[in-house]
Chain A
């Protein structure tokens, strides 16, 4: 090959603005178009073609940027369509000009030549003069001559739009078949994509940003091919699977250009129908792995998944639609397998992107296979495995990965109306353990509220393990990274109240299960700090007592019920003592009393002993820990009330207790309290019941003793109004005992017990 000559590369118009260039070119187009039309009017076709060539030559410019070039292109092709119309008219009326296809090819410059050739070719097809397939094939091949990206893209766009309605769509036919049309568009697409990608690599590297911007402006030109393919009537799913998609993907992968790959994948997903995607999921997903490292694969996969999710939820809503989740394809498996290999292939993928993909898959799985929890579980497992494989064992709070992972965890919880399915997920905890405290805590609160709001009852041990051992762990026990002052957090109480509600909802499938759940809960609760116990333990104690009652009610069915009950009571004792040690004497006291009360209703051999123990614990707490006078009064009132209701004591145990009450009441600091206290105690001596009799005690002497003591105290009261009110209270008591038939009291009244009142 020989070489000669060296000239300077002239850049005409480099200094001119785009607008000025466009204006100049447009003027030339207008003039030539005018001349062309005049020649057409005068029936001078050859002259008209000459003017058309002159007009088209304006498109040969290299000075215009894509946007401006596009405007010029629109102007030119507008005029060209006039020529086309006239030619069609001539063909229609006078028959074809057989040489025309050859004639226009004498044009010296390739760009105007090909624009004309396309125009004429379309007229030939339209008038059925030649088989469409031959013309199409010829045109798309000849267009290879334009290798300049911008000019080539627009030329091929003209080709596509001009023959748009002329593509054969029949299965058979002399003019061509659907196969010819598919091949045609595919080839055009491939060539356009090559040109488009090539833009990236031409020119100075400093212009890269501008070039990428320009490329984005041009992407629609390439995408139009795919749109056309999707619109071909007879291009069915089989053809899509066998021909269209493989060809398109080949281009996408081989071009190794991030912009093109990202756009085209998105384009494929958006333009083709859902059932096509369903039939080719594997292919489409497999293609994601080899894409350029800069390609946002996450967005591609997610967009595909979301499209399918939307499709399924729509077809579900529309009951008439036959399309649904295909029975022959396991969508989850296809996705999961491909995602796995995708991760393997793309080691540089950010962890949050990986999780986001799993999140999308989760949505799909829940949409398509709501019954199949193994899938959900597997997604968790795969996610963890992947994160670990990239060296991520904990995700920092407020990172994108953390955000995505929380969403992933929440999704099944939010989705299922009942929590039962979600709790069967064995990998849930593994995911949780990835989080740092703050996130786990937030998730735990979320879950707790969800459980409480849905009135979900934890009913098996396994569930309990998941709920309390994993989900709510940050709210119940020590978790790494928990701040020391967690209990001073503004929402701490609120959270604990929710947890308490969850606890109170616990309802094992049977009594033994419930016992097991409670036993393991006990360990967990007592391991926590007192700040939490304060809220959780009462709930737990009440559950335990409830269970004991349950055992008692079903005593005929279970020989061992006594043993089980004592065990429960012993647990209750331990729990309440823990509270007491934690300087919550009042709370502990109340719980002991409650326990005693319940114990008394579950009569069995040891119930008296146990009830006594509870009561004595309450008394010792009272004596040792309750020092505030108001608290003392309140506590005593409770104790008196409790003792009055308890019926399991023998006299041996009962008398010391009620005597103690009276004694303690009389030792209140405030006189009025003492007065009212002993009045209340009086009731114990009268209406208290013993285990071995159905009768009330009716110990009139003691009653009177108490009342007298009350009067004595009232008398010593200095404040007249207080004294009056005390006397009124005492009078009430007297009256009440009188009504109940207490002789001693009756006598006293006669003796002028009301004297004080009179005073």
Chain B
């Protein structure tokens, strides 16, 4: 979050604005209706000082009480109209704003679903969340109090000017004399405020960075007893923020009164020049009073400007961040003309596959192997040997750096992406549960899996008994990250999830964390049932898994070093033999009674 605050956007960027306005497109009827409401509303409210003029000139000075009643009635009518039109306008604009926000949020979310795993490696969760939530909400202000109120202001200003010229063009010209002054004051203010806004933003960014570091590094600060030193540093950063704000306050405090002085100049001109004309009988007193009231309304929109300026700045910054995200093209997408729709048999072939997360640091080097349909493969290797990467490439979480992966003789890149992934069931080591019911977590929103299928899947992998014990059984809610389930239960649940999808190929990263013997036996049996009749690749952490595998692939430093069955590899006394000593041998006594 913090690092982006450093980027200080412009207050107005035509390119961004055009793009934002593009989102109004589908709702242009509402926008049009809102503008009509706005124009009529402004017109009705502009009439009001004129009614005052009529009241003074036509009734009050002539002593005509009846006429006064008529004017008062007209005035009430204008108030009612203004109310109705304002209401209509507010509703139309805000509803439109909400719809635009809804579309934008959905678009961002949809876009996020299309982006590849590598993108999520680079961008922390918090930052992406901000795009969907806070940034979009900031934009709302642009629609509700920004864009359209600018229209409002412009229209009111021109409307008043027209009225003034109609009433008395000489006096209107006199008021226009102060306009250059007004423009000068406003421009100066704009420049000054932009500078201090920039200072404030920079200071905020520094505060954020400091807080972030000192909260994550709290242990270091505490252990070294440096609370006071860090506190002193923080007060300095905080002080800069204060000073920047005090400077900005100075400009605001100066600008608003200056505007009023300019307004008073206009009134003084009306009083003096208009007064002379009243004396000479070329202007009525009512017109003079109306002019004074108009000049008051004339300056009000301009003083709102300072506020809108700030809104505009923050919305521009937000929209820039949003569009940057939307403009990030997804690197892994479905081919336009998929060669295959679904996996038929489940034959896997790695041809000379290489891969690196970061250039120059290869994780996999020239891996080649073939897995026959229905074959059971175990992958073993030390930490960092590239085992997890192997399975991440299979379902195109990442695309290979070199070589190709073929399933049933078709390059995985030529499959329709969703179909490919549906054909490959994946069980990850760290089971991720969504907040929702147990049932939701098995079906994962797939409507083609019936409740019966889900229960059957759970029964097959021995998840059913513990689910039945939960309060609410299959409808039991799982908390954030499924905190209420044990590690073993989560594993069984994830097996049920994979089984319910009935994939041709199953890829499984066995959990390393130990579970009690009873659960271990359940898991082992569930695993056997899950793998039955499927092509499977298992990153093995259990001795039983390597013993029961048709073939074992030994990865070492990103290379495929040995292949063979458990017994063959042990006899070879190579890498596998060493790995066996390290990882599996200890399990031997417990396994002696295994299946």
A, B from the same assembly = no
Name B's A-contacting residues (CB within 8 A): none
Name A's B-contacting residues (CB within 8 A): none
